[in-house]
Amino acid sequence: MSANPPLSGAPSCDVGALPLVEEWPVLPNHQTHMSRLAQFGVIELEEVLEAMQQCPRGIHGLPFPLIDEITNIEASSIRIPWWVDVSAPRSLLPGLFETCQIMQLLQLESGNSVLLMGPRGNWWTELLMYIGAGHIVILEPDEIRRDVLMQRWDEMRLDLVANAFGCQINFIGTDMLDDCTPDGGFDRILSTGMFPALPLSVMMRVQTEGYAVLPIENEGRSMLQLIQHHGEGELMSQWVACWDVDPWSDEFLIALETGAAIESGGEVIENQKRVENAWSGANRVPTRDRFGPDRMLDMVERVWFSIDPVHSDFAEGDSGGFRECLSDDLFRMGHVLLQMGIFELATEHLGEAFRLAPTAESATFVGWAMNEMDDSWAALGWCRKAIETDERLGNPWNDIGAILLQMEQPAAAIPWLAAATRAQRYDAPGHPWSNLARAHQELGNKMAAFDAARTALEHSPDDDNCLRIIDDLGDLLL
């Protein structure tokens, strides 16, 4: 970044005087993202880290529709479909963060037997095998989905890998559970579907020193619990966090109790259009399959729908095609990561969103994140790209003015902030007026500062900066 940016001497709102984008943030590859999670303290167990590094989730998802694109979408924080009908329960692969957390909760020991209820593709089965399970029973109630899982397992030659690990793999339905339960019960049981209450019939299949990791409904939310035996006929439950997973059907719960088989639905045809639809719909419910405190999930939902990026090449109300849909999902995820303060990962999601289908919103938010990472020069470059994409959006004009204020250039900031107040599209018009009030105050323009602060308060009555300016200048201007 230049110590003395030339912008201070540039004509008013000269977009050409802004820097060009020199570096483009892109999604990290799987290995890089796993290393970050380890650095952040998300992964503490070495065996889980090694397994996660060896087993990326992308190969277990549906084919990525843009076959000619070079992208690390599997290492993003958006959901990935493994089943072509994403309206069906348990049709998404869990995210990397959720997977790390839950694999560590299992505290799997070498040779343990595991019952995996609702496998979500073969990714978690592969991970359990790499971590050290000696026997994995995969309970998939739907026969058609079970056949697909078995076919994919063999096509990827994971049957040979299981033999090399000495791990026994059984794909079963509810009618085969009794025959596949080890004497004394399983060491670990993991369910990826939510139970309406503590399932005693499941806990009866856990051996004395083992435990189960189960999502159980609590006050309308799916809460993950770690449950184990505690004395004769007693159970001890440790509440972990929300894990917003799909509930098990009544039919499955009955079959689990009775040992009956479940009739499969009709065959689902996998073609290019349906695969695109699956990817497009995978993130329609933003908290689905996410893990964390309930307040965080509430924040994800609120932020996800707070801004709709506008693709200027499309008519109003037209959402475009697959590229635009995926771009929007990446933008919304990047916005969530911004609000969480995870700025580097946010820029990577937003940069990928802009590359797939440019919007002024995604470029502006890359600039926002860059500025938060103390790279004001790069932030100005992305604000320029935002204006060049769609000059109607007010946010980048305001952000340029705010950055110039940070650089102690209030006179240079004023034209950009004034332009932001006249923008055709701005969801928060109070912001540029507030910054304009501050710029005028720093220049000693008391009347202009007072008028701008008063206008800002019409949009944002609780703006502390403007309330202070009004209080400081009110008596002087009487």
Pairing of strands 168-172, 221-229: unpaired
Which two tokens mark 40? 């952040």
At residue 245, what are phi and psi to the nearest 5 degrees? -105, 165
pLDDT at 69: 82
- The strand order across the sheet containing 135-139 reads 168-172, 135-139, 113-117, 186-191, 206-218, 221-229, 235-243, 291-292
Our CA dihedral for 21, 24, 25, 27, rounded to 10 degrees, sits at: 160
Residues in the chain where the model's pLDDT stays below 50: 1-4, 6, 9-10, 315
pLDDT at 319: 55
pLDDT at 6: 46
pLDDT at 136: 98
CB 62 within 8 Å of CB 81: yes
DSSP classification of residue 7: G
- For the chain, domains (ranges, CATH) are 6-21+287-474 (1.25.40.10), 42-258 (3.40.50.150)
CA 71/CA 323 separation, integer angstroms: 12
Nearest to 222 by CA among 256, 201, 203, 247: 247
Please, is 294 exposed, middle or buried when counting C-beta atoms within 10 Å of its C-beta (0-12, 13-18, 19+)?
Answer: middle
CA dist list (Å): 85 to 136, 224, 277, 457? 26, 25, 8, 48
The predicted-structure confidence for 420-443, as pLDDT tens digits, reads as follows: 999 999 989 999 999 999 999 999
pTM: 0.93
Which two tokens mark 364? 């502006």
